Structure 1
Amino acid sequence: MGIAIVKRGIGAAAIALWLGTAALPVQAAMELTAFKQSVAAEASQDSAIAAFYRDRDYAPFWTSPEAAAHRSALLHAVAGAGVHGLPVSRYDSDALIATFRDALTQRDMGRAEVAAMRLFLAYAQDISNGVLDPNKVVPDIKRKADRIDPAAMMKEFAKADSPEAFLKALPPESPEYARLLREKLRLERRIANGGWGDPVPISALRPGDSGPQVVALRNRLIAMDYLPRTATRTYDGAMQKAVQRFQLDHGLEPDGVAGTGTVAEINLGPEKRLQQVLVAMERERWLGDARGTKHVLVNITDFHARIVEDGEVVFETRSVVGQNRHDQRTPEFSDEMDHMVINPSWHVPRSIAVNEYLPQMIANPGAARHLQLVDGRGRVVSRSAIDFSKYSPRNFPFDLKQPPSQGNALGQVKFMFPNPYNIYLHDTPSQSLFAREVRTFSHGCVRLDDPFDFAYALLAMQTDDPKGFFHEKLDTGREIRVDLEHPLPVHIIYRTALGDPKGRMQYRRDVYGRDKAIFEALSEAGVVLAPVRG
């Protein structure tokens, strides 16, 4: 460690002990009462730490000669905290070693003992389940990161045969986390070596164009590994293919034209992409490893819903998500899909009924004729007897309902994973929206471009003729619930940086501004961009 021991007595013995080179002197062993009192006092601020030491009668752990491997493993782990995009200032091992070095009494040693445990728990928590509390950063993130059980963590670490292996197993073990780690290192090296060069002047560039702007685009694509080295000054076929590959990797329409939107994405530097990766790593820590062997994955930012089995996408369809308004953005959470409803009725959410439809009916009682009025006893009420002008959002006594039909707002099928946010996946008659590049148009639910095929994929797990089974129910015109014999986990996520199983990275725009808020919170917590030479 290269640390000079400049004091004698307890302080010198303490630092030597931390480094695993000495045992407590006999005199110190006779003064354990003071040590225990100090540990009890320091640990009283944390119930889990207090319980850990109380259960062991306040015997030393970190300051025990038997814990040399644990001490070494912890120092090595926190030294690499920056690799995982963690706030390294939280794990000040130099300060901890200084605390040991300056320990002149058994009371000082007790304080050092608890300080070491606090550092261990802070690191274990952050790398396992994330630095931030997601819902406190962005209220629409309804995901609760599974916080580690500090009592169990301390006990398991204390008895670990290989403390180093124990600490290495704390980060998420998902393939996605590994891909993000690799991309983080690649971007750090690129930043250290000068980035991707000068940005491209913002303008629309098309195949056949030439001139200095095309040269700037060429150089940028070469630096980003989308185009082999070339001296061309013309927007030729090779450059068009390179632009298309970039567009596919960034969720843009792959027309091969470097329009202003594409150029704006090309001009985002590696520092911005590194921020996205750091946020994605934090989000991956929140999500953890429990995805399910087969699950439904909806990524809000890339407007797709997928069925994933054993890490492979077995079904994919375009989606529409919530509008970028405070009460309509699609929330992030995980739940379990357990049934679908064929020929669904649309029970209009109260907020939509009173804020959107009631003003229309006050202005024109015949407005929104496709919706039925339903009273508190579930009876359909005739509009002719209603004076809508008497009602406001506070006292409107009716619910609104749209019966099953091809024009129903939910289309002809919806997929349910009951949750407190009233979010589900469903069909829609508004098919033209799926042709848009940015698809933020719903009130929060997720609309599917190919809902029938999605239904077939789910029903294939319980019938040999999923298509026939589905259409038999559909053709009745009646609302029918179909339970899934094999419920599936559903994860609604928000990733602007994600790895492709084939090795390429995908980037998306921060459509709701959530990643910006998360990165600001990570920066405030001490996460920094750190370029790596080499």
Structure 2
Amino acid sequence: MLKFAKLSLLSLALAATPMVSVMLTPNQAEAQAFSALRQAIAEASSTEEQLAAFYRERDFQPIWTSADASDRRNALFSALAEANNHGLPTQRYDTTDLVAAFSNATNPYEMGRADVQASLLFLQYAQDIHSGFLEPGDIVGDIVHTLPRRDPLELFTEFVSANPYEYIATLPPQHPEYTRLMRAKLHLERMIDEGGYGATVQAGSLTPGATGSAVVQLRNRLMAMGYLDRSATATYDTRLQQAVMEFQVDNGINADGIAGGDTIRAVNRSATEHLSEVILAMERQRWLNVDRGPRHIFVNLPDFHTRVIDDGEVTFITRSVIGSRDRDRRTPEFSDEMEHMVINPSWYVPRSIARGYIPSIMAGGANHLQLMSNGRPVNRGAVDWSRVSAGNFPFDLRQPPGPRNALGLVKFMFPNQWNIYLHDSPDQHLMTHDVRAYSAGCVRLDDPFELAYHLLAAQEDDPVTFFNTILNSSRETQVNLQTPLPVHIVYWTSWVDTEGRLNFRNDIYGRNAELRQAIQNLGVEIRGVNS
């Protein structure tokens, strides 16, 4: 830990002042020293506008190099020494230059420069640990979160008036999920240091009753991962089958107790692969380091489920279909507020989808779709089709309300520039699939009516009757939510649940591969890869 002698500006100034024929009084020397200090701080902070504003508001007084700032300095160095525990790029917080700057601060001007250098390092660390060290939208275009970046002026103002150790401790996400991931990271690093999960399973699939070396390999890996107590069995017995089922649940695989191809591939993932997923999960938690709302809707895309969370507890869950793997149909990641639902909705066909219907319409087909112009229906019989082509097709397309409407019988709206919302679907058979990536981008729900009842219960005495009365009228009806509801659409392929179980899901859109390369390029340590 760095220790600083309690030197006053006056003593530093006098020690550094050359001998001149005119002797300065102590007050004059003090003023001259402070002037040099202020000049250095003003110059060095000028590249960061809000940092400069902070120093300007305090008349360019130092916050790190004054005699009473030892707690701040030590708190900063302690935090930076622990950066790796948070999966941060520790090269960004190399303190070598700062230590040298403090050591060389033998005059007021150098003290001022060192002070700003410490502030810039603190600002980098604070922003990174609070809201992420990546700019994810620059790496993956479908990550459109608004990152919760702290205002530097506000950040420094709060910091200098607080206990520095306590304040720095509040910068990472305070949500229990982040703490659980941090514990998982440390556990996986210890596991890697001890050799990982052991030999991989050398079999394409295994079924209950099987025996042999591959069963032993399966048993040993499940023991290493904590799914099975110590055992010497070489048979795929009921205990091993139960362990397989628990593993399948935690990995989003149909829990049938049979170690099929998907299960074997998941079991054979290394501890290093798991660690990289956890480190990415911690970074994703930082992107969502906001007040999520006491009640909110949470859509985890790779998990294919939509949940309602009330005060940290899941009060509703339903299966979901998300955007397909086609690059232009992948569901983006963002947060917004649900404002209303529409019962018996129309479907206004997006232009990107409408293009596919134009040839059929021009041939007299696709009669379930209505032609629209300036918001009004157009009679197909009144159109001179000889003057219409796919290139100059002048109409919008609308599907009226009904049981075969592409949006089903209810949609849940949080207006956004990507036209993403939650809705019912006539294609409910897709909900039985394990991998449910089929939509044009919106999120389809397995139990949309139950979600409507659940949300309306906050404002209607009899939400079921209220909803079904409107539904049975067949009229398109907007129902506003009295309290807008936060919606968070995320892409979490790893998390630790409230029971401490580490969950993984497949990287359905390949986003993690791009992000993993980005964090490795920044020097984030992934034990077993670059350590």
Q: TM-score, normalised by structure 2?
A: 0.93
SS in 2 for 1:512: coil
**Who is 1:361 aligned against?**
361
SS in 2 for 1:66: coil
**Who is 2:26 aligned against?**
none
How far, CA to CA, are the matches of 1:63 and 1:510 in structure 2? 47
How far, CA to CA, are the matches of 1:383 and 1:119 in structure 2? 70
1:76-120 residue CA offsets vs partner (Å, 9 max, x unmatched):
111111111111111122321112223454333222111111111
**Who is 2:263 aligned against?**
262
Report how far residue 360 of structure 1 moved: 3.5
Residue 141 to residue 389, structure 1, CA distance change in 2 (3 Å): farther
Structure 1 segment 149-168 matched on structure 2, within 5 A: 149-160=151-162, 162-168=163-169
Structure 1 segment 124-523 matched on structure 2, within 5 A: 124-160=126-162, 162-354=163-355, 356-362=356-362, 365-382=363-380, 385-387=383-385, 390-393=388-391, 395-523=392-520
1:35-82 residue CA offsets vs partner (Å, 9 max, x unmatched):
322222211211122222222222222110011111111111111111
Match of 2:36 among 26, 34, 37: 34
Instruction: Tell me if structure 1 keeps the 8 A contact 2:9–2:34.
Output: no
**Who is 2:68 aligned against?**
66
How far, CA to CA, are the matches of 2:62 and 2:244 in structure 1? 62
Runs of 4+ displaced beyond 4 Å: none
Amino acid in the other structure paired with 2:244: V
SS in 1 for 2:376: coil
Residue 300 to residue 261, structure 1, CA distance change in 2 (3 Å): same
Instruction: Tell me if structure 2 keeps the 8 A contact 1:135–1:144.
Output: no
How far, CA to CA, are the matches of 1:58 and 1:483 in structure 2? 52
Q: For structure 1, which segment, 110-119 or 295-304, has the greater mean C-alpha deviation from structure 2 after superposition?
A: 110-119
How far, CA to CA, are the matches of 1:25 and 1:475 in structure 2? 81
Residue 386 to residue 372, structure 1, CA distance change in 2 (3 Å): farther
Report how far residue 313 of structure 1 moved: 0.3
**Who is 1:22 aligned against?**
6
Q: Structure 2: which 5+ residue stretches go unaligned?
A: 14-28
How far, CA to CA, are the matches of 2:185 and 2:350 in structure 1? 42
How far, CA to CA, are the matches of 1:453 and 1:332 in structure 2? 24
SS in 2 for 1:498: strand
How many pairs align? 510
Residue 187 to residue 389, structure 1, CA distance change in 2 (3 Å): farther
**Who is 1:528 aligned against?**
525
**Who is 1:15 aligned against?**
none
How far, CA to CA, are the matches of 1:83 and 1:290 in structure 2? 24
How far, CA to CA, are the matches of 1:96 and 1:473 in structure 2? 67
How far, CA to CA, are the matches of 2:200 and 2:375 in structure 1? 64
1:229-275 residue CA offsets vs partner (Å, 9 max, x unmatched):
22222211111111111000000011111111111111111111111
Report how far residue 200 of structure 1 moved: 0.9
Q: For structure 1, which segment, 374-383 or 42-51, has the greater mean C-alpha deviation from structure 2 after superposition?
A: 374-383
Report how far residue 386 of structure 1 moved: 4.8
How far, CA to CA, are the matches of 1:327 and 1:389 in structure 2? 31
Amino acid in the other structure paired with 1:110: G
Instruction: Tell me if structure 1 keeps the 8 A contact 2:372–2:398.
Output: yes
How far, CA to CA, are the matches of 2:122 and 2:385 in structure 1? 67
Q: For structure 1, which segment, 211-220 or 240-249, has the greater mean C-alpha deviation from structure 2 after superposition?
A: 211-220
The alignment status of 1:108 with 2:114, answered yes or no, reads no
SS in 1 for 2:296: strand
**Who is 2:25 aligned against?**
none
How far, CA to CA, are the matches of 2:359 and 2:205 in structure 1? 43
Residue 70 to residue 44, structure 1, CA distance change in 2 (3 Å): same
How far, CA to CA, are the matches of 1:367 and 1:331 in structure 2? 33
SS in 2 for 1:321: strand
Residue 388 to residue 263, structure 1, CA distance change in 2 (3 Å): farther
Instruction: Tell me if structure 2 keeps the 8 A contact 1:319–1:446.
Output: yes
How far, CA to CA, are the matches of 1:372 and 1:197 in structure 2? 61
How far, CA to CA, are the matches of 2:314 and 2:96 in structure 1? 46
Residue 60 to residue 484, structure 1, CA distance change in 2 (3 Å): closer
1:368-398 residue CA offsets vs partner (Å, 9 max, x unmatched):
22111112351232157352884235x2210
Identity between Structure 1 and Structure 2 (%): 49
Residue 460 to residue 259, structure 1, CA distance change in 2 (3 Å): same
Residue 154 to residue 64, structure 1, CA distance change in 2 (3 Å): same
Instruction: Tell me if structure 1 keeps the 8 A contact 2:185–2:275.
Output: yes
Instruction: Tell me if structure 1 keeps the 8 A contact 2:12–2:106.
Output: no
Instruction: Tell me if structure 1 keeps the 8 A contact 2:184–2:502.
Output: yes
Residue 388 to residue 226, structure 1, CA distance change in 2 (3 Å): farther
SS in 1 for 2:329: coil
Report how far residue 319 of structure 1 moved: 0.2
How far, CA to CA, are the matches of 2:66 and 2:195 in structure 1? 48
Match of 2:51 among 49, 62, 75: 49
Report how far residue 33 of structure 1 moved: 2.7
Amino acid in the other structure paired with 1:461: A
SS in 2 for 1:471: helix
**Who is 1:97 aligned against?**
99
